[in-house]
Structure 1
């Protein structure tokens, strides 16, 4: 990710009432890494963003600069899927990035964004059919089954 979010990250940390050290501990980062993120010396990765989303940070605000009253990221095309929150989007992004890297494939960012939305919709539809929300391990297993969708999209 190549965009400055340091000031918003610091603002979000302060909104949550946490010190850099406390925020770093929640995210699994070191205090030095947290400082680098807040100074825009380094850009946060998907693991970090996922961890702070689970800790209550508004990742949508960090990424876009627009604060939402809703805890979920509402992207165009996901209006009918309120279950798609920041944590799910980040988990799917991480899965797609890892899969592309391991498969030595590349996908243009707009196509990757559409792929992430599609995979999120597929996971939510499956959860709706089952009548329950799945956990990260179940989602990871299901995403592994969707590799054919990724293969088609990456060509």
Structure 2
């Protein structure tokens, strides 16, 4: 995790080129409250965070310190897990598939898995069921 919630609010503000006063105007919080959020002395409520979302802030990053992979970026550990899960499901189903179909299957499952960073066995099972010989 990168820094505190307050550090990440500042980082997002900087990324978007937004001043503290802008956030105060949008959310209705005082400058003192905004400063307390950014210093980690207080934590914002849901309505504040929803307002930030409406203005382009990456609130999941603010809360977790993690950003989703950028388009084209590959999480090698997740890809390995997807590949292994697909291989196991194909083996269990007794379905040999050509390399092209397997690549499409792995890509489909990876895209779905990248949303939360975990391989869902049910998704793998359903995807394998879609592959016809």
- TM-score, normalization: structure 1? 0.42
Larger-gyration structure (1/2)? 2
| Bigger RCO (CA 8 Å, 6+ sep) | 2
